[in-house]
Homo-oligomer: A and B are copies of this chain.
């Protein structure tokens, strides 16, 4: 089968939309998340973000790329999500589940500034106790973050929003004994390119790799290296604690 090869000179010569779809396909599968935010008047915003990445476990940090707040000509662009995050200092990240795909995708439409994406798409705000930004009730994994830093990237005006995870909630059935969350069992979706949505099928979890050892699959229940075992019942929602 023949291979295609594009160089940077080819990229420049390609039609603009073609190039955008091509380049957006190259990074591999992406996370599908909705970012929930609000301004000081509780005007809510919800937007699809495909650039959420893990940044560290201790402290628990997540980063995401936000588009430039100016056009290529330098004119300002209204970016509600990052403006809200700056204003309030808090936001939520919500996995997009198979059950909510169309509504989640619809948040990417250009609604007038006074239209709330929750109302426009039929998704339900979930106000986590005392937390100032709305989560998405339909989402199978919801978390609340506190803004740590917004790092501007000079090269193209994008911004990297870094947040610390304050809380997370998801169905207990997905929790494995070693700490792994089976997000596939939560029906979390993956994205390819600008508009491709995928469900997944686990091939294997693999043992921590070691030199001169064959790669092996982990058992269904995960690695057996947590001692003593963690008692999940202590983390059940609505359970009175602490």
Q: Which residue from B15, B23, B115, B211 sits with its C-beta under 8 Å from A109?
A: B211
Q: Measured between C-beta atoms, what is the minimum distance from A12 to chain B in Å?
A: 8
- Residues of chain B within 8 A (CB-CB) of A105 are 206, 209, 215
Within 8 A of B (CB), among A9-50: 9-11, 14-33, 50
Q: Which residue from B1, B8, B102, B176 sits with its C-beta under 8 Å from A165?
A: B8
Since A3-B237, A4-B172, A197-B206 are in contact, a sample of 4 more A-B pairs with Cβ atoms closer than 8 Å, ordered by chain A residue number, is: A8-B164, A8-B165, A26-B168, A63-B160
Q: Are B207 and A5 in contact (CB under 8 A)?
A: no
Q: Are A236 and B53 in contact (CB under 8 A)?
A: no
Q: Are B2 and A237 in contact (CB under 8 A)?
A: yes
Q: Measured between C-beta atoms, what is the minimum distance from A74 to chain B in Å?
A: 16
Q: Determine whether A190 belongs to the interface, using a CB cutoff of 8 Å to chain B.
A: yes
Within 8 A of B (CB), among A183-242: 183-184, 188-190, 192-211, 213-215, 218, 222-223, 225-227, 230, 232, 235-237, 242
Complex A-B, nearest 6 residue pairs according to Cβ-Cβ distance, in ascending order: A28-B31, A21-B179, A18-B179, A25-B181, A198-B200, A29-B190
**In the complex, per-residue mask of A152-167: 1 if CB is within 8 Å of any chain B CB, else 0:** 0111101010101111
Assuming A3-B172, A28-B95, A95-B28, is B154 touching A21 (CB within 8 A)? no
Copies in the complex: 2
Q: Measured between C-beta atoms, what is the minimum distance from A9 to chain B in Å?
A: 7
Q: Measured between C-beta atoms, what is the minimum distance from A191 to chain B in Å?
A: 8
Q: Are A180 and B209 in contact (CB under 8 A)?
A: no
Q: Are B14 and A230 in contact (CB under 8 A)?
A: yes
- Residues of chain B within 8 A (CB-CB) of A218 are 195
The chain B residue sitting closest to A143, CB to CB, is: B26
- Bound Cα distance from A149 to B112, whole angstroms: 36
